[in-house]
Structure 1
């Protein structure tokens, strides 16, 4: 579910177009706004950032646009990596339109809470609220839709969520309102978007491949399955990357 099995970037983009588009938007906006600092990009970031003062003045689009903007390279990479890891399974399970609706709703919920509960002068950017909304959907599945997620993946979700929740309150510079209420937004919309959802299956992606016919492999029983330890190594590697990004985030 969280171990990528796609054979190429092209295949990933074909199977998960919404997640791919969101990551491309993240990287493109970072390139234009932060790296190249084009006049248009600087103005775009100023126009799209979450700013409680300007929202109070009626610029309500700022409750949505911050979802696509980030505060530098590490912030962009971290959120994009989290989206690539946890987004594809939900995109397949919910479908493109429900997925993007849930993603935007969670991000909106986090930004609305930031506006209502945060200081009058407060500026924020980032997809973290929307991504925590994905965790909200997963946690809802763990609690109330156990048939949609197996035990090992449920454990991974819970552990990563707990680590993220702890980091939310101990790491400086975090928009706590966005994280908490983005998660709640995802949890609340989960019953609606999970209607008629099926468990994630990499085999379902094969329908979109070039080979749609059923093929018989006479040596299929001789092939070794992926060792269970490999999944454990992948999990702990991801945790190590999370910690590394957290430390680098304090430096840059």
Structure 2
């Protein structure tokens, strides 16, 4: 199975968990999504679970469509390395969220990691071809701006994901030459 589809299945499982927890006891949800105060108190696992668990159907559907589009465009070229890109970028976005937003902030969803995947493939393509094109960055900017019209969007997580993806994409040729 392609990694992009695996990430989509993890997001679907996280949505199912988010809905089940929210339906049974909504007070438990802050133990699974990214709750800045909890992370600052030592619940570091939320940097990861906050990427996957969401009770929001709209969030899940937007993430699913985005992951499917990335799969269609790039075909999972990076293989299992996509998991590393997704989690490293998403965790970076969540760390920046904890550092830059107030302690009572709560956030959920995979969009930081998804922005990381998209920016990874764009940066990787330019690094491997050694050719700069405005098409990739323009696509990334358009997606970022389109996400900006939605309410309650965690822009910091998106920017963190983009930073992580670009760094990993630019370093990809070095990783490939060693392997």
Query: Secondary structure of 2:42's partner?
Result: coil
State the shift of 1:87 in Å. 3.7
- 1:107 Cα shift? 0.3
The one of 25, 30, 55 equivalent to 2:10 is: 25
| Equivalence for 1:64 | 48
Deviation at 1:121, TM superposition (A): 1.3
The partner residue of 1:49 within 33, 50, 53 is: 33
Q: Structure 1 residues 63, 84: closer, same or farther in 2, change over 3 A?
A: same
> 5+ unaligned residues in a row in structure 2: which ranges?
none
CA 1:31–1:130 in 2, change beyond 3 Å: closer, same or farther? same
Q: How far did residue 141 of structure 1 move?
A: 3.3
Q: Give the match for residue 250 of structure 1.
A: none
CA contact (8 A) 1:136 1:186 kept: yes
Report the RMSD for the aligned CA atoms in angstroms: 2.9
Moved more, 63-72 or 138-147: 138-147
Are 2:94 and 1:111 aligned? yes
Q: 1:168 to 1:32 in 2, by over 3 A?
A: closer
Q: Name which one, 1 or 2, has greater alpha-carbon Rg.
A: 1
Match of 1:196 among 168, 176, 179: 176
Question: Residue in 2 aligned with 1:241?
Answer: none
Q: Cα distance 1:171–1:31, how it changes in 2: closer, same or farther (>3 A)?
A: closer
Partners of 2:19 and 2:51 in 1: how far apart?
16
Show the 5 A alignment for 1:126-205. 126-146=109-129, 155=135, 157-194=136-173, 195-196=175-176
Change (3 A) 1:161 1:71: farther
State the alpha-carbon separation in 2 of the partners of residues 64 and 148 from structure 1.
Answer: 34
Cα pair 1:90 1:99 within 8 Å, conserved: no
Output the TM-score relative to the length of structure 2: 0.82
Does the aligned pair in 1 maintain the 2:119–2:169 contact within 8 Å?
A: yes
